[in-house]
Amino acid sequence: MNDIDSSIPERSELREDVVQDRFVLVAPKRGARPKDVVLELDPESDPSDDPFSKEETFETVLHEDLGADGGVVRAIPNKFPAVSKDNPSAYGTQEVVVETPEFGIELAEFSVEQTCAVLRTYAARLRAISEDTKIRYILVFKNKGGKAGASLRHAHSQIFASEFVPPHIVRKAERLREFRRENGVDYYEHLFEQEEGGPRHIWSDERMLTFAPYASLYPYEAWIVPRRRVDNISLLSEEELGSLAAALHHVIQTLHAQNMPYNFYMHQTIEDDVEHFCLRVAPRVNTWAGVELGSRLIINAVSPEEAALFYRSL
């Protein structure tokens, strides 16, 4: 066993995420390795039932050229929003980002440049949505696969913006401030020192670091964090967006090769002075059961060290 392999725990470990105030029980077992997990194949779908193929039925609020005859990325209003600007009890807006005009092509099959066009669309829409002074929280997310909540086969992601800030986001900001007061260093600077080149390191360049977090909630979870402190994707430079696209492409292409369902997501909290942008990828290969639901202690059967090795080896 080499030095990297020797870092993979063989026995269960209780790990704490001090900023998100939660514990994870890392409990490695052979049954949760990539070759043994139950993989999910996308169900067969009829392209004639694809709502996103009917471009004329949607009001396009933004489009971004994919290049190389790949068509365009379109941002459109969500036809079934949970929040809306005419509802004072649940004020907000929701949009769908249609990542490609082609039915059956997945984001993981895009080039890095095409992936960057999708990220550029997110950034542009966040800039526009945040101009509404009532909006205080924005979430960008993608559901890929039935176990991740996807209901449509056509590649798309979503933007959810609300006047309401989730309490766990507020508490996280408080703990980030507390960490800085107690340690004299920003939490993410601490993460960079801890994860750069270590056993949980996945991919990096001069602008972006990708790693499996120490207290991962999900098997094969990955975080992508810019080295420069910005609090949301709309503040990234074009070069940083390119690095983010390369990192995301590497992670989701690896998951796609194994037919793993996944979510990815990123937050923006308006007027947050401590947040550091992070794109989180959460593969959905397991189901939380009695221990997780009853105790809120999450059991992760794949150590972050093994997850990082998985990403580096493919």
C-alpha to C-alpha distance for 300 and 23, rounded to whole angstroms:
11
Separation between Cα atoms, residue 301 and residue 30, nearest integer Å: 9
The rounded distance, in Å, linking the Cα atoms of 97 and 106 is 13
Give the sign of the dihedral formed by CA 154, CA 41, CA 105, CA 312: positive
List the alpha helices (DSSP H) in 130-215.
167-183, 187-195
| Cα–Cα distance, 197 to 303 (Å, whole number) | 17
Quick one: CATH architecture of 5-39+166-263+272-313? 2-Layer Sandwich (3.30)
3-state DSSP percent of the chain in helix, strand and coil, to 5: 35, 25, 45
pLDDT the model gives residue 57 = 54
Q: Write phi, then psi, for 99 (nearest 5 degrees).
A: -75, -20
With CA atoms as reference, report the closest residue to 153 among 103, 192, 216, 189. Answer: 103
Instruction: Decide if 5-39+166-263+272-313 and 59-162 have a common fold.
Output: yes
Residue 31 confidence (pLDDT): 45
The arrangement of strands across the sheet holding 208-211 comes to: 62-65, 72-77, 92-98, 156-162, 137-144, 262-269, 279-283, 222-226, 208-211, 201-204
Give the model's pLDDT for residue 34: 52
Residuewise pLDDT in 10s, the chain (314 residues): 344 455 788 789 999 999 988 999 999 864 455 554 545 555 555 666 666 766 555 567 666 666 555 678 989 999 899 999 999 999 999 999 999 888 888 999 999 999 999 999 999 999 999 999 999 999 999 999 877 877 777 889 999 999 999 999 999 999 999 999 999 999 999 999 999 999 999 999 999 999 999 999 999 999 999 999 999 999 999 999 999 999 999 999 999 999 999 999 999 998 888 999 999 999 998 887 888 888 888 899 999 999 999 999 87
* CATH 3.30.428.10, domain 59-162, yes or no: yes
Q: What residue ranges do the domains of the chain occupy?
A: 5-39+166-263+272-313, 59-162
Q: What confidence score (pLDDT) does residue 49 get?
A: 65
Which stretches within 236-314 are classed as H helix? 238-257, 290-295, 304-313
pTM: 0.90
Closest listed residue to residue 249, CA positions, set 134, 160, 119 = 119
The answer to whether residues 140 and 157 touch, using CB atoms and an 8 Å cutoff, is yes
Phi, psi angles (nearest 5°) of residue 308: -65, -40
